[in-house]
Structure 1
């Protein structure tokens, strides 16, 4: 299964993605303001790979002047339902449909990995004002929580993908992996959690790209077995999902 197929798989489950995916903690945006040296209020921001609106809505709540960029038709349609008064344009990070030096901040929430960094980095630098910043982040696995780490391994095995390392890469390696070598980059990790029902937890798992490309029978079998495991651990049928947001902020010279 190609990366392009996985990237576009979200369009098959846009409503499920909108309803089940985790958000981001307020502390994340505090750190972005700290790293960029300016408030988000009144900043011109482009949220790229905006999906169904999760990060865009939070940026707007902080007072940012946001435009969303999203390649997927179904995801963009879901975005318009939930944020009808925020502009959204079709496009992706490899060829941003934005003018030169027109934004203070470009954000990628859970979406930088779908870009070709030999193209997306120059595009970000083209669109940013001098001194502007590119912020990319992911909700990553809290490997120190045993049941979450074990679940992560099961999902990877079931989907036939390589599980993430239990050891997080150091700053130099993660900057290189993100294609940001040569730029001034700051990194932070923000831990947070949410309490959700089994149904929402399983819907969140099912909205992942590696899962979406599986046959329906394979998806159903995994969810059924995972629900059985959860019932053995959590009698009240709610779970606390713990995340570590990994944030990189690169500043344009």
Structure 2
């Protein structure tokens, strides 16, 4: 299964993605503002791989002049439904539909791994203003929580993927990004939690690309087994999901 197939698999579950996926804590954008030395209000921002607008919404709420870039038709339609007043254009990080030197900040929330850095880095640098910045972040798996680690390992075995922090590249990504861009790069990690119903938790699992490319019987079988295990561990059917946001910000020296 190619990365492109997995990236576009989200279109088959856009509404489920919007309803169940976690957002990000305010500290993420606080740290971006701290690194930039200015508030995001009125900053011109492009949110690339915006999906249904989970991160775009947070940028919009900060008062940013934000535009979303999203390749998927169904994801873009869901974006329009939840954020009708925010502009969105079709495209991806490898070929940004943005003018040269037009943006103060370009963000990739949970989407950088779907780009080809040989193309996406030059594209980001082309679209950024001279004092602009690039911000990349992911919700990653909190492996120090025993039940979360055990579940992640079950998911990895079932889907045939490596049991590593979800959606985050290796630990040298900050160094690699600095080398590719020539910019100074800062890395921060922010731990946060949310409490959700069991159904929401299972829908979140089912909205991941590794699951969406499986056939329906395989998905249903795993989620049925997981529901039984989690009901035993959480009889009130409320779960505290723990995440660690891995944030990289690259800006001019």
Question: Is TM > 0.5 for Structure 1 vs Structure 2?
Answer: yes
Question: Contact (CA 8 Å) 2:108, 2:137: kept in 1 or not?
Answer: yes
CA distance in 2, matches of 1:250, 1:215: 39
Partner of 2:129: 129
Write the deviation string for residues 71-95 of structure 1: whole angstroms up to 9, x where unpaired: 0000000000111111100000001
Q: Secondary structure at the match of 1:244?
A: strand
Question: Contact (CA 8 Å) 1:109, 1:137: kept in 2 or not?
Answer: yes
1:192 aligns with 2:189: no
1:133 to partner: Cα distance: 0.4
Please list, as runs of the form range in 1=range in 2, the aligned pairs for 1:62-211 lying within 5 A after superposition. Answer: 62-164=62-164, 170=171, 173-176=172-175, 181=180, 182-211=182-211
Q: Any gaps of 5 or more consecutive residues in structure 2?
A: none
Please list, as runs of the form range in 1=range in 2, the aligned pairs for 1:12-91 lying within 5 A after superposition. Answer: 12-91=12-91
CA distance in 2, matches of 1:184, 1:163: 30
Query: How big is the alpha-carbon RMSD for the aligned residues of Structure 1 and Structure 2?
Result: 1.5
CA distance in 1, matches of 2:145, 2:36: 32
Q: Secondary structure at the match of 1:134?
A: strand
TM-score, L = length of structure 1: 0.95
Question: Contact (CA 8 Å) 1:128, 1:252: kept in 2 or not?
Answer: no
CA distance in 2, matches of 1:177, 1:207: 29
1:178 to partner: Cα distance: 5.2
Question: Contact (CA 8 Å) 1:121, 1:179: kept in 2 or not?
Answer: no
Question: Contact (CA 8 Å) 2:177, 2:185: kept in 1 or not?
Answer: no
1:252 to partner: Cα distance: 3.9
Q: Secondary structure at the match of 2:140?
A: strand
> After the TM superposition, which segments of 4 or more aligned residues of structure 1 sit over 6 Å from their partners?
none
Question: Contact (CA 8 Å) 2:178, 2:250: kept in 1 or not?
Answer: no
Would you say how many aligned residue pairs link Structure 1 and Structure 2?
250
Q: Secondary structure at the match of 1:120?
A: helix
CA distance in 2, matches of 1:73, 1:179: 33
Structure 1 stretch 177-186 or stretch 213-222: which is displaced more? 177-186
TM-score, L = length of structure 2: 0.95
